[in-house]
Amino acid sequence: MSEDAVERATRTLEEGIVRDDGTAMSYADYLDLGTLLAAQHPRSDPPQHDELLFIVQHQVSELWLKLLVHELRSARALLAEDNLSQALKRLARVKHVQRQLVEMWDVLATLTPSEYARIRPFLATSSGFQSDQYRAVEFLLGNKNADLVRVVEHDDRARASLEQLLEEPTLYDELLRLLARRGYAVPPGVLARDVREPYRLVPELVEVFALVYAAPEEHWGVYETCEELVDVEDLFQQWRFRHLQVVTRTIGAKPGTGGSSGVGFLRRALDLTFFPELYAVRAQVG
């Protein structure tokens, strides 16, 4: 390689770039990388190479879930304030995060059954079923279940978070309240429902959405929000399905470490829906 080529291939450190001399906030300081990168504690004995993948995968998932809860809470608050455009911005970000979570399963799927079998005994009874942030996302979207709070009852932070969300309206509740404020014929029973309970389909509400879908140009903001929520549910179902696939290829019909039936339990979750009227209305379009 010529001297000119070597010079072109070398990137000179610019004079203006701040060196870490310990007196100013650094990248590592801002992100608290000392804590973050020291949070992986493999437990296998003898050590198993693939355990770090398993730990990092789930820690990163929890970080994305933290952001999802943050954005969904904000979207819900914005709907309560009749700020539909900003709520849609939040939901757009939610979908991008969901895609990251879906695609992450491809990395974990590189873990073969024999590799996972060498790690699994060291998980003991720990399980993703115990993720309070995953439950927080479900509670925000409408799949409320007070019994699930008991799964984390010995974790004060997790229990308090889920108990609070159990008492609060869901994202969909706030959309329906917004519709009522805008003059749509939302049944009073929907507005007065017990928000601690999982949401159930209301046939009269399907008729309200049928008017929106019959003339989307006249109801564009509401129509767009409905389709955004369908996208959110679609991506959530993709996450569930990829989870099912990866568990199936990794442990087959074995029960889950947290005591669930494993694949059967995950398969039944595919029947759950957050926004039933937004799917039911499709039979009336056209």
The answer to the question of residue 24 being in a domain is no
Three-class SS string for the chain? CCHHHHHHHCCCCCCCCCCCCCCCCCHHHHHCHHHHCCCCCCCCCCCCCCHHHHHHHHHHHHHHHHHHHHHHHHHHHHHHCCCHHHHHHHHHHHHHHHHHHHHHHHHHCCCCHHHHHHHHHHHCCCCHHHCHHHHHHHHHHCCCCHHHHHHHCCCHHHHHHHHHHHHCCCHHHHHHHHHHHCCCCCCHHHHCCCCCCCCCCCHHHHHHHHHHHHCHHHHHHHHHHHHHHHHHHHHHHHHHHHHHHHHHHHHCCCCCCCCCCCHHHHHHHCCCCCCHHHHHHHHHCC
The answer to the question of residue 8 being in a domain is no
The answer to the question of residue 158 being in a domain is yes
* Span 82-107, pLDDT tens digits: 999 999 999 999 999 999 999 999 99
Q: What is the pLDDT of residue 2?
A: 66
* 243 annotated to bind ligand: yes
Q: What is the pLDDT of residue 37?
A: 98
- Interval 268-286 mean pLDDT: 92
Q: Which domain holds residue 158?
A: 46-240+263-283
* 120 annotated to bind ligand: yes
* 70 annotated to bind ligand: no
* Span 184-203, pLDDT tens digits: 999 999 999 999 999 999 99
pTM: 0.91
**Domain count for the chain:** 1
Over the chain, what is the mean pLDDT? 93
Residue 130 sits in a domain of what CATH number?
Answer: 1.20.58.480
* 57 annotated to bind ligand: yes
- Interval 52-61 mean pLDDT: 98
